A and B are shown apart, each in its own frame.
Chain A
Amino acid sequence: MDALGINLPGLITQLVSFIILFVLLWMVLYKPITKMLDQRSAKIKESLDMAENMKEESAKSKEDMQKQIDAARTEGQQMIEQARVMAERFREEEMAKARTDIQTERERAESTIKRERDAAIEDLRREFADLAVTAAERVVEKSLDKTAHKNLIDKVLEESTKGRG
């Protein structure tokens, strides 16, 4: 033992020195580093969780947005469809109106034409009666009561129109 240099005072000194180092390093080095590493890993975990949450949230909001877009699209399509239907109806209404207008216009025109024609016929008939009376006066050379005469002619014309028509 002596030749190796092992002696009690030396051994005790080294033991005490090493234990002091152990305790002091524990206080100065291990405690703060352990604390810091734990703190950091907790923080990392927290931020990872947060990132996960945010990812989920963003996925959700993206989905929401898609849904909204889809809804807007269908709404828009509906509106277009509605407008198309309305336009169609409007066109048809307009066309029907135009058609009836044309119809009434034509009827009016027809009635006017008929009336004009009747009036013309009436005029013609009157002219013709006067002419016939004048002609008959000349033929008969006898002055007849103009009114009785006219009645007579009317009667003849009436009969002829009836017979013709």
Chain B
Amino acid sequence: MAMALVAFLVLFVVGLAGGALGDKFGAGFLSSPLPHLQLAAEKVTANEQFPGFTITNTMIATWASIVLLLIISFFATRKITEVPRGLQNFFEAVFEYFINLAESVAGRERARVFLPLVMTIFLFIVMSNWMGILPGYATIGRIESPEEFIHHAEERVEKQVKEAEEKGETVDEHALLVSELGNTKFSTFNGEGSVGITPFGSVSDQISAVDYLEAEEHGEHIVPEGQQAGILVPFLRSANTDVNTTLAIALVAMVLVHFWGFRRLGFFTHLGKFINFKQGPIWFFVGILEGISEIAKVISFTFRLFGNIFAGEVLLVAMAFLIPLIGIVPFLGLELFVGLIQAFIFSMLTLVFASAATVSHGAEGH
């Protein structure tokens, strides 16, 4: 017990000294520098696989969790027996939990219809959230060279210049480029090669993109010998930190919810909830509001999950930056919890929306 406490204190002190706080006092040897954070998923390769399509790191993470889920389920049901064992037991427990929940919300008959979607949503979200905090996610990747990065920035500037010229305005191209580069900082990696791991080191090891550009223009090299500058583009990034993923799940969920609504209530009854001429103008506006709320559901689904998981990733990165070694530990636990809760919320809301969509308003009111 005392040993553990001492070890914890040593780790804490080393972490604090090596982290971003210690960096201000001349230490800071362990800090993982704040990576280049962006909302959009990073493209893993420099080239497009198909015109307009490049594989992103969230896609790879999505496929990884899909493959893992399928493998686990395959082994769970490969030798399915009446007396359950091991994985089968686990999946049956989850299955029964959800079917009981669904039956309590939607009744026995509809529960069986809704269950596959609800469970798929839960399993996929929880799997990708939990895989997203594994080591290797967001830390191993391709090194995007400064030239490549600046080239992309220049392309964007050219576009803006063209637009400005069409309007007849004159712009300072260099100033635009500087603002486009912003406060992007290149990390430095040891050795050659295009694959890198998030480096340890001080914040002061990083090189500002603007400085790099100026140095290049003056023919100088500010990158130390034997090192290369660049931006790490991780191969894997938690699937739900991409709006496309969460939007895709939300769209599938809401499309199926309304499909069930149409199938159960009939086309015109279900449509009549949203476009209602029969009961006067007030009900017409109520219908319009209902329609808007359906769109709002998609948006809230999308951004609730995305926001929670993205914020979690940022939190983990920030803690690794501030207190390396152990600062991240309690937040890993928190992220496990958040990942589970978000998966549960998404699936439960799908279930509730589905059971609400398959009940006609007339039956609800009376």
- Could you tell me which A residues sit within 8 Å of B by CB distance? 2-7, 9-11, 13-15, 17-22, 24-26, 28-30, 32-34, 36-37, 39-40, 43
Which one of B58, B80, B99, B249 lies within 8 Å of A18 (CB-CB)? B249
Whether B80 pairs with A32 at a CB distance below 8 angstroms is: yes
Identify which of residues 85-99 in chain B touch chain A, using a CB-to-CB cut-off of 8 Å.
91-92, 95-96, 99
Q: Find chain A residues with CB under 8 A from B59 CB.
A: 10, 13-14, 17
Q: Can you offer 11 A-B residue contacts whose CB atoms are under 8 A?
A: A3-B40, A5-B39, A6-B247, A10-B41, A11-B244, A18-B62, A25-B69, A28-B74, A33-B77, A33-B92, A37-B95
Measured in the bound complex, the distance between the Cα atoms of B126 and A45 in whole Å is 35
Known: A9-B53, A36-B80, A43-B82. A21 touches B120 (CB 8 A): yes
The 6 A-B pairs at the shortest CB distance, nearest first, are namely A5-B40, A14-B248, A10-B244, A29-B73, A32-B77, A9-B53
> Which listed residue, A21, A33, A40, touches B69 by the CB 8 Å rule?
A21
Within 8 Å CB of B58, what residues of A? 10, 14
Q: Does B56 contact A (CB under 8 A)?
A: yes
Q: Which of B39, B74, B84, B245 contacts A14 (CB 8 A)?
A: B245
Chain B residues numbered 106-152 whose CB sits less than 8 Å from any CB in chain A: 112, 115-117, 119-120, 123-124
Q: A26 contacts B116, CB within 8 Å?
A: yes
- The reply to whether A22 and B120 contact each other, CB–CB distance below 8 Å, is yes
CB-CB under 8 A from A3, the residues of chain B are 39-40
Whether a CB of chain A sits under 8 angstroms from the CB of B66 is yes
**How many angstroms from the CA of A42 to the CA of B66 in the assembled complex?**
33
A7 CB contacts on chain B under 8 angstroms: 40, 244
Which residues, 234 to 280 on B, are CB-close (under 8 Å) to A?
242-245, 247-249, 251-252
Cβ–Cβ contact A28 & B247, under 8 A? no
Contact A9 B52 (CB under 8 A): yes
A20 x B82 contact (CB < 8 A)? no
A44 closest partner in B (C-beta): B82
Would A29 and B91 be within 8 Å (CB), given that A5-B41, A5-B242 are in contact?
yes
User: How far apart sit A75 and B73, CA to CA, in the bound complex (Å)?
Assistant: 70
| A30/B69 in contact, CB under 8 A | no
Q: Let me know if A30 and B116 touch, CB within 8 A.
A: yes
Find out whether the CB atom of A28 lies under 8 angstroms from the CB atom of B52.
no
Q: Determine if B285 is an interface residue (Cβ-Cβ < 8 Å).
A: no
For B54, the chain A residues whose CB sits under 8 A away are: 9
Q: Are B82 and A18 in contact, with the CB atoms below 8 A?
A: no
Query: What's the least CB distance linking B234 to chain A, in Å?
Result: 15
For the complex formed, measure the closest distance between the CB of B112 and the CB atoms of chain A, giving whole angstroms: 7
Given A28-B70, A39-B82, CB of A14 within 8 Å of CB of B242: yes
Closest to B241 in A: A5
Complex Cα distance, B119 from A153, in Å, reads 152
* A17-B96 in contact given A10-B59, A40-B82 (Cβ < 8 Å): no
| Identity of the chain B residue whose Cβ is nearest the Cβ of A20 in the assembled complex | B66
